[in-house]
Amino acid sequence: MNFARVQLGSSVSQIKKQAAAYESLTDSQLSDIALDLGFESRQHDDVLPLIVRGFALVQVAAKRQLKMQHYDVQLKGGEAMCHGHVAQMQTGEGKTLTATLPMFVHALAGRGALLATSNDYLARRDAESLQPLYQSLGLTVGVIQSDMSREQRRAAYACSVTYGTMKEFGFDFLRDHSGQREQKQRELWYGGRAGEVADAPTAKPVHRPPHFLLIDEADSILIDEARTPLIISAPEDGQTQDQQKALYTWSAMAAEKFEEEHHYWYDRERRKVDLTPEGTALVREVTKPPILAGVGLLEMYDFMERAIQVFRDYKHDRDYVVRDGEIVIVDEATGRISEGRRWSRGVHQAIEAKESVEITMDTNTQAKITVQSFVSRFAHIAGMTGTAFTSSREFKKIYHMGVTVIPTNKKRIRIIHPIKYSFHEADKFEQIVADVKEQHDIGRPILIGTRSIAKSEQLSALLTRDGIEHEVLNARQIEREADIVASAGEQGKITVATNMAGRGTDIKIDDSVRELGGMHVIGTEMHESARIDHQLFGRCARQGDSGTVQLYIAAEDKLLDSAFGKQKADRMRATGKDRTASYWIRLFEKAQQKVEKQHYRSRRILMYTEKMLAKSQREMGLDPILDNFE
């Protein structure tokens, strides 16, 4: 893989010249040329020789079928992705249309091209809106949705191009491998005898062999979400469920009694709790229900360490919500509900005990794969996002992908104001409300980004208190996401959002808003990754529009706790109460960098651990995907 900066631009003039030559051809003639390119593509495994002719076909088809024209910068973005790079394209630069270029040339080989996007809605929307373009060039389009049957999935994957989410692609892959193992067991049962094996039930996979995968919002999917493996679980046998539930409940009730550095040590990089001698003594002293009389101390220590970790690290309305009596994960990077996902190693059950909901049965891992491992199985991968360059080192080391920054089609005129600081969070929120009132009086639309559901609703309550009408966009309003975002750029509109902030959906503004200065974006605190801050900032001033950004921080913000630990952070607050705003801004920037490094190391450890365990499993003749290596 060549990580050098891709030299773009030389092909653009050739693509436009070729497209001009294709303009006079009929749709049928264009489809015939695509068919010839497909034959050529199947003779070798390199799309680069197809870029000029393939991109020209797509450009003409887009103009005819979609009434849309690829900008020069979109042609450059498509070329970067054909080189296997992540194309960094600013919000509003048309990544959805750009993706048709690499998808088309990779689909020509007839081996399938997958595009992983953020959610089912975006996958369905993009597949349906772009279908006329692909079909006019002789390609078929499929889309994977969470409620589809296996037969429907198999038909979607058989199409030339398939849209879906990384979660659905990954779970289908795991289910395919589970089915293959069952098939092998059936063959063994039938004894390998020719006639009987042929009559045995089959487990036909839905996926085709992995060929090309394009990842939309690549930083979110490949970095932020990659900390959680994809897991298929099955009920665990041979354990006393009542005893297990009692252990979870007992440890959850006692977790608050344990103090960091006295009763336990905490490793922030691994998010790991270890009891001190004082902590183990406290475990022995805490009153226990009679049902736990036969449980060993080592098991009690393990449950207590897990409960402490959950108590300190997993927050309601930030990391999860309680919906219909169930714990549902909220992805920290996107603010969206992670349907079908569960934390492993008993963490999910510990959270259920903490929230006093029904504790589900523990499960064994039936099949598991990390995002990194799944992606590595494809012969060709590429990505696109608005914020990738700061993570280029991680893309290179883990995914062997370069990052190419694509210039904007029009000069960006976004104004980012200096960070505003308050010591107390309450004062910060009052400043934000005052800022909202000032901009709202002008008539500008305002988008306010928050780190969690709880913070979005806290700010919403303050705006309601002052009679300021607004919309709230968080995981509780996921069904209305597209509608809320689509109108967020209207004059006088105020939208309070979590990180989800409608990634994948444009915020369009009209001429009257441009005259008022464009959209005003407010960040209510620094996130654990600067990329997420930049994603929020990118929601304004798209395609040459005007817009402003204002970030607020307070010494009481939780980023310091995440970086340094609550006790050390509290000491910093106590000793630095009278320090200048510039001191606190530098401290928060340092904290953000520290947490980013912690997350990066944790992802590296996850990938390295999986590789070592998989290698060990292969040496023992086991399947590293399907056999439980928890």
> Mean of the pLDDT values across residues 170-183?
78
**pLDDT at residue 628 tops 50:** no
Q: Extract the tokens encoding 66.
A: 């979609």
Q: Where are the alpha helices (DSSP H) in 443-580?
A: 453-465, 481-486, 511-515, 530-537, 559-564, 566-575
Contact 403, 86 (CB under 8 A): yes
> Mean of the pLDDT values across residues 9-33?
93
Under DSSP, the state recorded for 330 is: B
Q: Which residue has the higher pLDDT, 125 or 202?
A: 125
Most confident of 17-26, 40-49, 336-345, 366-375: 17-26
| Beta-bridge mates of residue 260 | 264
Q: Where are the alpha helices (DSSP H) in 115-273?
A: 120-136, 150-157, 166-189, 194-199, 218-219, 241-254
Question: Is residue 630 assigned to a domain?
Answer: no
Looking at the chain, the whole-number percentage of residues with pLDDT higher than 90 is 57
The CATH number of the domain holding residue 329 is 3.90.1440.10
Provide the pLDDT confidence category of residue 238 given band limits of 50, 70 and 90: very low
> Mean of the pLDDT values across residues 271-280?
91
Question: Is residue 607 assigned to a domain?
Answer: no
270 and 209 fall within a common domain: no
Query: Cβ–Cβ contacts within 10 Å for residue 358, how many?
Result: 10
> Mean of the pLDDT values across residues 236-258?
83
Contact 6, 79 (CB under 8 A): yes
306 and 173 fall within a common domain: no
> Of 540, 557, 574, which residue is a domain's last?
557
CA angle 397, 403, 404 (to 5 degrees): 165
Q: What is the per-residue pLDDT across 369-418, written as a single tens digit (0 to 9) for each?
A: 888 889 999 999 999 998 888 889 889 988 999 999 999 888 878 899 99
148 and 182 fall within a common domain: yes
- Tokens 């060039």 locate to 137
**pLDDT at residue 619 tops 90:** no
| Beta-bridge mates of residue 273 | 266
| CA-CA-CA-CA torsion sign (259, 261, 262, 264) | positive
C-alpha 493/C-alpha 117 separation (Å) is 27
Under DSSP, the state recorded for 316 is: B
Contact 373, 610 (CB under 8 A): yes
pLDDT of residue 115: 98
pLDDT of residue 432: 97
**pLDDT at residue 343 tops 50:** yes
C-alpha 137/C-alpha 29 separation (Å) is 9
Q: What is the per-residue pLDDT across 495-549, written as a single tens digit (0 to 9) for each?
A: 998 875 545 567 888 889 989 999 999 999 999 888 888 888 888 887 778 899 9
The CATH number of the domain holding residue 186 is 3.40.50.300
385 and 356 fall within a common domain: no
The SS3 call for residue 329 is strand
pLDDT of residue 181: 57
> Mean of the pLDDT values across residues 429-436?
97
pTM, rounded to two decimals: 0.78
442 and 532 fall within a common domain: yes
pLDDT of residue 609: 73
> Of 496, 522, 557, which residue is a domain's last?
557
> Mean of the pLDDT values across residues 423-452?
95
Domain of 92 in residue numbering reads as: 10-229+372-405
Q: What is the per-residue pLDDT across 207-227, written as a single tens digit (0 to 9) for each?
A: 999 999 999 989 888 988 777
Q: Extract the tokens encoding 451.
A: 């780190």
Question: Is residue 617 assigned to a domain?
Answer: no
Q: Using alpha carbons, list the distances in angstroms from residue 291 to 241, 249, 256, 312.
A: 11, 12, 22, 27
Contact 398, 376 (CB under 8 A): no
Question: Is residue 577 assigned to a domain?
Answer: no
C-alpha 205/C-alpha 580 separation (Å) is 61
pLDDT of residue 199: 43
**pLDDT at residue 492 tops 90:** yes
312 and 350 fall within a common domain: yes
pLDDT of residue 184: 56
C-alpha 569/C-alpha 562 separation (Å) is 9
Q: Within 13 Å, how many C-alpha atoms sit on residue 233's CB side?
A: 20
Average pLDDT, the chain: 87
Contact 164, 139 (CB under 8 A): no
pLDDT of residue 545: 83
Question: Is residue 332 assigned to a domain?
Answer: yes
pLDDT of residue 193: 44
Contact 57, 27 (CB under 8 A): no
Question: Is residue 602 assigned to a domain?
Answer: no
> Mean of the pLDDT values across residues 547-573?
94
Provide the pLDDT confidence category of residue 623 given band limits of 50, 70 and 90: low
48 and 177 fall within a common domain: yes
Q: What is the per-residue pLDDT across 156-165, written as a single tens digit (0 to 9) for each?
A: 999 999 999 9
Q: Extract the tokens encoding 545.
A: 């529009």
**pLDDT at residue 27 tops 50:** yes
In terms of phi and psi (left: phi > 0; alpha: psi -120 to 50; beta: otherwise), the region of 100 is alpha
390 and 299 fall within a common domain: no
The SS3 call for residue 106 is helix
Provide the pLDDT confidence category of residue 481 given band limits of 50, 70 and 90: confident
Name 357's Cβ contacts closer than 8 Å, sequence gap at least 6.
Answer: 322, 325, 326, 327
**pLDDT at residue 271 tops 80:** no
Question: Is residue 583 assigned to a domain?
Answer: no
Question: Is residue 582 assigned to a domain?
Answer: no
424 and 440 fall within a common domain: yes
Q: Which residue has the higher pLDDT, 575 or 7?
A: 575
Number of domain units in the chain: 3
Angle (deg, nearest 10), helices 120-136 and 51-65 = 100
Count each helix (H run) and each strand (E run) in the chain, helices first: 25, 20
- Tokens 């919002």 locate to 217
pLDDT of residue 505: 65
> Of 557, 572, 597, which residue is a domain's last?
557
- Tokens 């990329």 locate to 531
Q: Using alpha carbons, list the distances in angstroms from residue 106 to 48, 434, 462, 612.
A: 10, 52, 51, 32
212 and 72 fall within a common domain: yes
Burial of 393 (0-12, 13-18, 19+ CB in 10 A): exposed
- Tokens 């990634």 locate to 503
Provide the pLDDT confidence category of residue 239 given band limits of 50, 70 and 90: very low
Name 133's Cβ contacts closer than 8 Å, sequence gap at least 6.
Answer: 58, 61, 62, 65, 66, 100
342 and 388 fall within a common domain: no
| Beta-bridge mates of residue 420 | 552
C-alpha 286/C-alpha 249 separation (Å) is 13
527 and 464 fall within a common domain: yes
232 — phi, psi (to 5°)?
-110, 125
C-alpha 231/C-alpha 139 separation (Å) is 33
What beta strand segments (E) does 220-317 contain? 230-235, 264-267, 272-275
Q: Which helix (DSSP H) or strand (DSSP E) does residue 619 occupy?
A: helix 581-619
Name 574's Cβ contacts closer than 8 Å, sequence gap at least 6.
Answer: none
208 — phi, psi (to 5°)?
-90, 165
Contact 94, 71 (CB under 8 A): yes
C-alpha 245/C-alpha 248 separation (Å) is 5
Q: What is the per-residue pLDDT across 93-145, written as a single tens digit (0 to 9) for each?
A: 899 999 999 999 999 999 999 999 988 888 999 999 999 999 999 999 999 99
